[in-house]
Chains A and B, each alone.
Chain A
Amino acid sequence: MSALDVSRWQFGITTVYHFLLVPLTIGLAPLVAAMQTAWVITGKDHWLRLTKFFGKLFLINFALGVATGIVQEFQFGMNWSEYSRFVGDVFGAPLALEGLIAFFMESTFLGLWIFGWTRLPKLVHLGAMWMVAIGVNASAYFIVAANSFMQHPVGARFNPETGRAELDSIVAVLTNNTLLAAFPHVVAGSFVTAGTFVAGIAGWWMVRKARSGDAAQLAEARTMWRPAAIAGSWVMLVSLVALFFTGDTQGKLMFEQQPMKMASAESLCHTKTDPDFSILTVGTHNNCDSVTHVLDVPGVLPYLAKGKFSDVTLPGVVDLQQEYNAKYGVGDYRPNLFVTYWSFRAMIGLAAGSGLLALAGLWLTRRGRVPDQRWFSWLSLLAIPTPFLANSAGWVFTEMGRQPWVVVPNPTGDPNLRLTVQEGVSNHSVTTVVISLVTFTLLYGALAIVWFYLMRRYVIHGPDRAAPPPTDTGPDGTGGPPGRASAEEPAVEQLSFAY
């Protein structure tokens, strides 16, 4: 293996790992904030218990998300220094904005939220969680802006004197049509993830409590877990619809901007008018001649590409390869067809897991029912991992579909604004990069085990029994200022939260 291959594996592994955790953070922060809002408005104890329960799971997840995110910030310079030199003028801006605007906000206000249960007035404390929710979503916007520039560079031009991309318009970069389609898609995917997580856990608990045969536990299933499961199901349904529409927009853009990616996604080897949408193929994918389309659906692909059912001609991989050879010099411009084909299908197919749970959950809880079917508790658990896998599949498709480019030439932009991964990698020895690849993989592997252990442990433990309702009022009952110090106060006032 070359340093390029090892660097690609390392970036892939660390990023996929990071993005297993990130969507849950992005989606769960607003949901926890919403649960806390429900508690503040209704004053019902079970919303507080749910807030604390899911808040704890959120924190376990957040910590590892932060830990793996730090690596990403430095990895561009460490392993992709030539790429960083080429695009730094453009790419650095959204990254720095992400740090300034989003990271500071989410980390500072999360600290306030964790430790501020009795230090802050109730509404300010709720506001802190909403700031976290806004922060995590803002960070997604900026980092997807950076990524969208790699997929579809706009707002910049190539300067032949310095040999690098130079920013023309920050507004164009931050309103890239690729970004405007990808960001809502990422957020919708994250809400599906968090909705499935909440509904899955709540559904499992609901059945468990309902089957216990104990009146008090049945009451808990009815008053606490049922509304949580229903809320999670609605979040899933709405975001699945959003996912469908944003995915459709994104697909249409990709057919225009990155035809090679979409041709590979369909294993469409030769240019064809009104090709069918492929569901199953067999054969060695990276050899176009041996791919046999087994199951096809007509009409879908032309619609996906152009929004109409006929008279659509889509270029095939072989023809695009010839075209790119003529345009950008001799080279192999094909992504890995096997990975792009199957990751695209896995992404779409795995969404069924969440859809199934949402529909079943809403049906079984209709008109006050509390389900106690064992199969539903199994479905709840089995559905939880599916959106995580779908998110990964989607990103693997997006990123491996742009190979061999790290900056994909924009068909309607400056054709010199392009870079292959080969040109972007740092000049390191294979040994050096293998050391870091092995280190990160082992460390991340170990931490994944700890993460899963803690998550499972806390899910099975369930919410704490009767959480004492935190008070936002000072001893004088004024909702007093934080950190009030008065002589009459008892000397020992225990912290409401401590590590």
Chain B
Amino acid sequence: MSLQEFWFVLIGVLFTGYFVLEGFDFGVGMLMPILGKGSDTRRRVVLNTIGPVWDGNEVWVITAGGAMFAAFPEWYASMFSGFYLALLVLLVALILRICAIEYRGKIDDPRWRARCDIGIGIGSWIPALAWGWVFANIVRGVPLNEKKQFAGSAWELLGPYALLGGLTTGLLFALHGAVFLGLKTGGEVRADAQRTARLLLAPTVLVVGAFGLWTQLAYGTGWTWIPLGLAVIGLAGAGIAVYADRDGWAFTGTALTVAAATALLFGSLFPNVLPSTIDAAFNLTIHNASSTPYTLKVMSWAALIVTPVVLIYQGWTYWIFRKRITVDQIPAPVGLPLGTAKD
């Protein structure tokens, strides 16, 4: 495997990590208003399933962005300047979500919390829909001119394939989140999460199946049938497990589907990193977009040494906080009352 191929795979792995981990974070945020309906304690149960880990999960995309910059600067530059307004919306959503999660419990006031909940909702729904849309557009290709610059109207990014991609990640992450909540909560919240997962199952199978097949038939190659098959197996397994009351297997199933779908997208893209819809000669590929062999070699050493360590301590964190959370485990709110009253 050449270094360029290795880095293409590694960036795929970083995005896989991001989608598998933030996928359920987004799902939890998306479902929080629904599963938390009726009581603040229930909403806190939902939110606290991702409490200690969501920040570490989010770093996967920051590192993926940094890795794109280091290994394929042309890809980083064209993609991030090409999807300018979409990324702006995405960034606003992520900023709102971070602040809303962290600041929600700081003030003990229903209106304050309601506003934070809106922030968490927006900050989860928008990225969940946007990432699928962005990656579908990348696989499909964007109007890149000979200078590797985005040269088309934004309308071209709103094709049916891209919109279906957005719907795919939206539904898949919602299901992934519901299954995760089934695994991480107990009591009434768990029962509701399982019910939601069952409700989401059919539409998700339909949309993910349609998008997967479309990707495979229009852009896939021979071996990408394998990730497509794995995605189907994962989803089927998750479906069976949801009905069989096996939370761990259900989560494994949706995690497999998310990972396999990411592999399908990256596999369909290879060896391009950003195809041009204007002329195939303008395609950005792993060869014309990459850094020099020296940079790739240095970065490979760093990634090979550090990534396993990160996986170990993040895995350990999940182990530490592996217990289910129930309504009666949630402590009383410790936030200060709204207002400026002294002491």
Contacts and interface: CB of A to CB of B under 8 A. Distances in A.
Interface of A: 59-60, 62-64, 66-68, 70-71, 73-74, 76-79, 81-82, 84-85, 87-93, 95-101, 103-105, 107-112, 114-116, 119-120, 164, 166-168, 170, 426-428, 432, 435-436, 439, 443, 447, 450, 454, 456-458, 460-462, 482-483, 485, 491-499
B48 A498 contact: yes
A111 B55 CA distance: 7
Nearest to A85: B77
A123 to B, nearest CB: 15
B99 interface: yes
Contacts of B342: 460
B79 to A, nearest CB: 7
A103 B107 contact: no
Given A108-B313, A170-B298, A439 B69 contact: no
- 5 residue pairs, one from A and one from B, having the closest CB atoms: A88-B73, A77-B80, A92-B70, A99-B63, A63-B102
Contacts of B331: 494-498
Interface string B37-69: 000000010011001111110110011011111
Contacts of A91: 69
A84 B303 contact: no
Given A112-B317, A427-B149, A79 B81 contact: yes
A73 B95 CA distance: 13
Given A77-B81, A101-B306, A439-B92, 9 more contacts: A60-B106, A92-B66, A92-B76, A100-B306, A108-B53, A108-B310, A120-B320, A427-B149, A454-B107
Contacts, number: 251
Contacts of A110: 55
A432 B88 CA distance: 10
Contact of B340 (A439, A457, A491): A457
A78 B52 contact: no
Contacts of B88: 78, 435-436, 439
Contacts of B104: 499
Nearest to A447: B99
Interface of B: 44, 47-48, 51-56, 58-59, 62-63, 65-71, 73-74, 76-81, 84-85, 87-88, 91-92, 94-96, 98-99, 101-107, 148-149, 291-292, 294-295, 298-299, 302-303, 306-307, 310, 313-314, 317, 319-323, 325-326, 328-331, 336, 340, 342-343
A58 B58 CA distance: 20
A37 B325 CA distance: 30
B87 A93 contact: no
A460 B106 CA distance: 14
Contacts of B298: 93, 167, 170
12 contacts: A63-B98, A78-B81, A79-B81, A81-B77, A81-B81, A85-B74, A88-B291, A112-B52, A120-B320, A443-B92, A485-B323, A494-B328
B95 A96 contact: no
Contact of B62 (A70, A87, A454): A70
B35 to A, nearest CB: 15
Contacts of B44: 498-499
A119 B321 contact: yes
A454 B91 CA distance: 23
A101 B302 CA distance: 9
B103 A450 contact: yes
A108 B66 contact: no
B59 A92 contact: no
B92 to A, nearest CB: 6
A313 B37 CA distance: 74
A493 B59 contact: no
B281 to A, nearest CB: 17
Contacts of B92: 439, 443
Contact of B70 (A64, A96, A119, A454): A96
Contacts of B85: 432, 435-436
Contact of B77 (A82, A99, A443, A495): A82
A89 B295 CA distance: 6
